[in-house]
Structure formats: structure tokens, C-alpha cells
């Protein structure tokens, strides 16, 4: 009997790529003050047979200050794994999502980094996302729906 490949990793559980693993995607984007879009994204990408790296924990122990460096280290490590596609989604909500914007800037400046970018038209900093992407990677599309962003991520991983 063949072992099934685990396809879902949620912080702080580490993912260690192995030969023969399916492609992996990191779900970058808003967490605080926005809907849990990562659940829908993880379900869709998982159905496509992809490995999903989700930084959004079901229960983040906000009262434990020791968890902040654990979370940041997990995200940093998984954002920089070779071959992983970073899918950014900036949903509308009550947050400017400054950490996600910082991560987008770093990803855009790394020409070796594979990424897909999407921003809801209702996101308060949508023009920042569009302009940063346009300037750093001319021709890169900023998708306007989560569905379109997921579709682009799947297509990019299968090309």
C-alpha cells in the first residue's frame, strides 16, 4: 500500500519538500481583520492535488508572546522554499494588511520567485498592489477575484 502525500500544512507545522511531491503554494495575504479566505483557497487548491502552506492558524494563541517569533519564522522559511509558488490575495476588510504588503514587495523584487497576485477591488490599498506589481513585473496580472487568483495559481503551477 502506497503512503498518501500530505497536502495541507498550517503554521506552525513544517513542510519539508521531498522528491516527487506535488507543486506547493504558499497562501500569502491578509489574515487579521479580514475573512478567512485561506480556508476556501486551501480547499480549492487541495482538490487540485497541490500542497498548501497556510500561515493562518485556526487558533492563534494571541496571549502568548513567544508565538510571534514562531509564526514569523515559519512564514519566512516557507516563503523562501525553492520552487514554492507564492499566491497573494488582498481581500477587502478592516485592515491595510501591512505585513502582506511587505512580503509582496520582497517577492516582487526576487525575479526567481514564482508568484500570482490578486486584490479585491474593495481592498483599501488595491492601487498600491497594482502599481507595485506593474513597476516590478510589467505584464504580471493583478487578479480581481479570489477565484481568478486561484485559477491563475493552478495554471502557473501546471505550466
CB-CB contact of 85 with 157 (8 Å): yes
Which structural domains are found in the chain, ordered by start?
8-158 (3.40.50.450)
- Nearest alpha-carbon partner for 90 in 127, 47, 120: 120
Question: For position 3, what pLDDT does the model report?
Answer: 59
Would you list the DSSP string of 41-87? HHHHHHHTT-EEEE---SS--TT-TTHHHHHHHHHHHHHTSTTPEEE
- For the stretch 14-38, pLDDT in tens is 999 999 999 999 999 999 889 999 9
Is the pLDDT at 1 greater than 50, yes or no?
no
* Average pLDDT, integer, range 90-113: 95
> How are beta strands 8-10 and 115-119 bridged, if at all?
unpaired
Q: Determine the 3-state secondary structure of 36 from DSSP.
A: coil
Amino acid at each position: 500500500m502506497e503512503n498518501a502525500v500530505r497536502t495541507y500544512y498550517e503554521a506552525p507545522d513544517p513542510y519539508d519538500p521531498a522528491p516527487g511531491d506535488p507543486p506547493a503554494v504558499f497562501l500569502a495575504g491578509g489574515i487579521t481583520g479580514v475573512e478567512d479566505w485561506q480556508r476556501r483557497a486551501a480547499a480549492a487548491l487541495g482538490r487540485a492535488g497541490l500542497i498548501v502552506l497556510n500561515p493562518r492558524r485556526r487558533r492563534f494563541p494571541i496571549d502568548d508572546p513567544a508565538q510571534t517569533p514562531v509564526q514569523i519564522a515559519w512564514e519566512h522559511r516557507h516563503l523562501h522554499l525553492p520552487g514554492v509558488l507564492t499566491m497573494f490575495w488582498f481581500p477587502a476588510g478592516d485592515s491595510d494588511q501591512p505585513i502582506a504588503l511587505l512580503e509582496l514587495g520582497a517577492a516582487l523584487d526576487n525575479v526567481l520567485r514564482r508568484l500570482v497576485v490578486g486584490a479585491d477591488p474593495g481592498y483599501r490599498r488595491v492601487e498600491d498592489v497594482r502599481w507595485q506589481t506593474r513597476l516590478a513585473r510589467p505584464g504580471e496580472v493583478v487578479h480581481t477575484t479570489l477565484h481568478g487568483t486561484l485559477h491563475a495559481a493552478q495554471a502557473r503551477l501546471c505550466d
